[in-house]
């Protein structure tokens, strides 16, 4: 077999599924909704699953399909699917794997909207969620029972930046015959080989690193093909009809038809561009984080710095093991007081005050007074959300310009 190509080569040269009518070199935006058939017999074949073809763009579309093909190629996943947003990817996937009456064992450190979905909305589908500390394997094991449909966690939690023992979680999930599902938004396929780590299904908000410059809201999932869906409470029957491909088949044939939530061709266009330059941007962001980390570490006004790429951070060893030392581009710093955090933020002239992650621009936010403002003091304490902490999403600017901006803002703190 030919040697596997590098990430960027493989992305840039992903072949089209079908030759383009005009020999376009870049995948065109197929913005249409419906597709025509040569004969009634062909139509019957497609509708009854004997032939694969696009029918209607809510369930599949050529531009979206090409984005999925690229994702599959660069990640090595068995199958990839895309969604209208990261939240659509998460909600659709969880609802497809866990039946009513079942439960999910989930990390208690989650992206806010995922947490809210699991805490309230999904319960109305009669699915219970048990929140556990994923660092405490005994607690995770004790939470799993016969009705558990999956284990769910985020590869790097935000803003705590914790990295769990993913292999141990995988062993625990698999010994209980349930899949391990990871939200890997902060560590896209270029830095994270989820199959090697034991993850069965990855969910990703492509809005973040993959879109490249926060150009479009979107989501994706990767099925590594490592979980035998005939063991799944909700997918057993799907696996009989679509052997090895039960999850994707159910999403495309049931969830997209009935719930929608699929990606548009325009979004796919931005994400195709984003995937091609992902490695370049991630490398640049990681370099910037390392340089900024060192700058903050020696600064007298900074009380603590957390970036798993730094030797001084708790996540360092695991970031080397799972993300080849490239643990995304989110970092936190602690200043002495909440007031000094506000003064520092307000003094910044280039870095933007905004909530998104992995934009090309560097963004800063004070999490405890914004994203987590509605949480109780006890909840914030349990989640290690100090009001002296600032979160930075580091972009691709020239690092010296970032340091200059931070320097001048520190003068007034």
Ligand X SMILES: *Cc1c(COP(=O)(O)O)cnc(C)c1O
Q: How far apart (Å, rounded) are the C-alpha atoms in residues 67 and 11? A: 10
Q: How far apart (Å, rounded) are the C-alpha atoms in residues 346 and 36? A: 56
82 binds ligand X (CB under 6 A): no
What minimum distance in Å lies between the beta carbon of 31 and ligand X?
A: 21
First-to-last CA distance in the chain?
A: 59
Residue span binding ligand X (CB under 6 A) among the ranges 4-12, 83-91, 170-178, 270-278: 83-91
65, 86, 274, 367: residue in contact with ligand X (rule CB under 6 A): 86
**Does 43 sit behind a cis peptide bond, omega within 30 degrees of 0 on the bond before it?**
no
Residue span binding ligand X (CB under 6 A) among the ranges 81-89, 92-100, 188-196, 391-399: 81-89
187 binds ligand X (CB under 6 A): no
87 binds ligand X (CB under 6 A): yes
What minimum distance in Å lies between the beta carbon of 96 and ligand X?
A: 17
Residue nearest to ligand X (CB): 86
Q: How far apart (Å, rounded) are the C-alpha atoms in residues 170 and 199? A: 6
Cβ atoms of 132 and 140 within 8 Å: the answer is: yes
Rg (the chain; Cα; Å)? 22
217 binds ligand X (CB under 6 A): yes
Residue 366 buriedness (CB in 10 A; 0-12 / 13-18 / 19+):
buried
Give the number of C-alpha atoms closer than 13 A to the C-alpha of residue 267, restricted to the C-beta side: 25
Residue span binding ligand X (CB under 6 A) among the ranges 29-37, 123-131, 137-145, 201-209: 201-209
Residue 145 buriedness (CB in 10 A; 0-12 / 13-18 / 19+):
exposed
Residue 252 buriedness (CB in 10 A; 0-12 / 13-18 / 19+):
middle
What minimum distance in Å lies between the beta carbon of 409 and ligand X?
A: 25
Using CB under 6 A, which residues numbered 259 to 298 contact ligand X?
Answer: none
Using CB under 6 A, which residues numbered 138 to 167 contact ligand X?
Answer: 154, 158
What minimum distance in Å lies between the beta carbon of 391 and ligand X?
A: 11
185 binds ligand X (CB under 6 A): yes
What minimum distance in Å lies between the beta carbon of 183 and ligand X?
A: 5
219 binds ligand X (CB under 6 A): yes
Positions that interact with ligand X (CB under 6 A): 85-87, 111, 114, 154, 158, 183, 185, 205, 207-208, 217, 219, 357
């Amino acid at each position: 077999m030919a040697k596997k190509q590098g990430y960027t080569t493989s992305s840039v040269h992903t072949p089209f599924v079908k030759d383009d009518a005009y020999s376009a070199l870049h995948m065109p935006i197929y913005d249409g909704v419906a597709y025509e058939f040569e004969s009634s017999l062909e139509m019957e074949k497609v509708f009854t699953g004997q032939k694969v073809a696009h029918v209607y763009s809510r369930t599949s579309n050529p531009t979206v399909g090409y984005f999925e093909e690229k994702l599959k190629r660069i990640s090595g996943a068995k199958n990839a699917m895309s969604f209208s947003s990261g939240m659509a990817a998460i909600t659709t996937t969880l609802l497809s794997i866990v039946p009513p009456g079942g439960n999910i064992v989930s990390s208690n450190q989650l992206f806010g909207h995922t947490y809210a979905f699991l805490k309230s909305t999904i319960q109305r589908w009669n699915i219970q969620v048990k929140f556990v500390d994923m660092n405490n394997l005994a607690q995770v094991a004790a939470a799993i029972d016969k009705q558990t449909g999956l284990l769910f966690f985020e590869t790097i939690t935000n803003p705590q930046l914790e990295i769990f023992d993913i292999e141990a979680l995988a062993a625990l999930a698999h010994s209980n015959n349930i899949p391990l599902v990871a939200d890997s938004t902060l560590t896209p396929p270029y830095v994270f080989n989820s199959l090697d780590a034991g993850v069965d299904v990855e969910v990703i908000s492509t809005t973040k690193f993959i879109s490249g410059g926060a150009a479009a809201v979107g989501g994706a999932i990767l099925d590594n093909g490592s979980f035998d869906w005939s063991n799944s409470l909700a997918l057993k029957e799907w696996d009989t009809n679509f052997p090895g491909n039960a999850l994707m088949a159910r999403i495309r044939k049931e969830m997209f038809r009935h719930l929608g939530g699929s990606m548009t061709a325009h979004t796919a266009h931005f994400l195709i561009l984003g995937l091609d330059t992902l490695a370049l941007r991630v490398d640049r962001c990681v370099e910037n984080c390392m340089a900024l980390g060192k700058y903050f570490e020696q600064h007298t006004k900074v009380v603590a710095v957390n970036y798993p790429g730094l030797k001084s951070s708790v996540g360092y060893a695991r970031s080397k093991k799972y993300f080849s030392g490239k643990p995304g581009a989110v970092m936190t710093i602690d200043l002495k007081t909440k007031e000094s955090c506000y003064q520092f933020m307000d003094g910044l002239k280039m870095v933007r005050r905004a909530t998104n992650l992995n934009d090309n621009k560097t963004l800063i936010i004070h999490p405890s007074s914004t994203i987590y403002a509605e949480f109780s003091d006890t909840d914030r304490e349990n989640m290690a959300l100090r009001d002296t902490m600032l979160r930075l999403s580091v972009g691709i600017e020239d690092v010296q310009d970032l340091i200059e901006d931070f320097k001048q803002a520190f003068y007034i703190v």
